[in-house]
Amino acid sequence: MVVAKIAPSLLSSDFARLAEECERMLALGADYLHMDVMDGHFVPNLTLGAPIIKCLRPHTKGFLDCHLMVSNPEQWVDDFASAGADLFCFHYEATKDAAALIDRIHAKGMMAGMAVKPGTPIDVVYPFASTLDQVLVMTVEPGFGGQSFMPECMQKVRDLRSRFPDLDIQVDGGLDPGNIEVAAKAGANVIVAGSSIFKAQSPADVIALFRKTVEAAQASA
């Protein structure tokens, strides 16, 4: 059975203290460190890239879950592998040959994830699910943090979970203590959250709540 994994989005961290922020999140109970990579083309925002991952890698043993919101993700596979990324998640909408890209990611020693935007039907993932380590269902439009959760995306999670019970299903966008139960009951087990963790009075309590809610949903399923 899949297990709950909580992945704070470092997009909401203090970038001037990125390594410290990563270690702080791990100490507070995080499982993954979610790294939002944006190129200013596939999405309008511009954030970090492989050079930052490479600099960060010696300072943390945490699992670097790299979500590439970029055009032509193929061109970055080698760089992120060399930088020390653990999981390379690309957007279905950004590639013309997902199968070849998944194979290449695995050949470079990384786990492979596929993300879909809110407007993309989930059935595009089905032909590739057996070769993927994770599927990311976006619950906001990719590109900026702090957006509101889109509950209509939960039908995608339900459909995906019913067909692939052993798949890691990640949700990203607007997750907070007020909607985590909806996502967990739909079948999501990997929870990305930025603002609701980093801006919380007690980030550890939010992480613990997310985990408890996912585990409770799994137990009652």
* DSSP notation for 176-208: -TTTHHHHHHHT--EEEESHHHHTSS-HHHHHH
Least confident residue range of 2-11, 145-154, 182-191: 145-154
Out of 133, 159, 172, 176, which one is annotated catalytic?
172
pLDDT at 76: 98
Q: CA-CA distance, 56 to 36, in Å (whole number)?
A: 14
- pTM, two decimal places: 0.96
Instruction: Name the pLDDT band for 1 (thresholds 50, 70, 90).
Output: confident
Instruction: Name the pLDDT band for 66 (thresholds 50, 70, 90).
Output: very high
Residue 57 backbone class (left: φ over 0; alpha: ψ -120 to 50; beta: rest) = alpha
pLDDT tens digits, 18-59: 999 999 999 999 999 999 999 999 999 999 999 999 999 999
Least confident residue range of 77-91, 108-122, 142-156: 142-156
36 annotated among ligand-binding-site residues: yes
172: annotated active-site residue? yes
Query: Is pLDDT at 145 greater than 90 in this prediction?
Result: no
172 annotated among ligand-binding-site residues: yes
Query: Is pLDDT at 14 greater than 90 in this prediction?
Result: yes
Query: Is pLDDT at 146 greater than 90 in this prediction?
Result: no
Domains of the chain (ranges; CATH) run 5-220 (3.20.20.70)
pLDDT tens digits, 181-202: 999 999 999 999 999 999 999 9
pLDDT at 144: 72
pLDDT at 142: 86
91 annotated among ligand-binding-site residues: no
106 annotated among ligand-binding-site residues: no
Q: What is the mean pLDDT of the chain?
A: 96
143 annotated among ligand-binding-site residues: yes
36: annotated active-site residue? yes
148 annotated among ligand-binding-site residues: no
Q: CA-CA distance, 18 to 23, in Å (whole number)?
A: 9
pLDDT tens digits, 108-137: 999 999 999 999 999 999 999 999 999 999
Out of 36, 159, 168, 176, which one is annotated catalytic?
36
Query: Is pLDDT at 220 greater than 90 in this prediction?
Result: yes
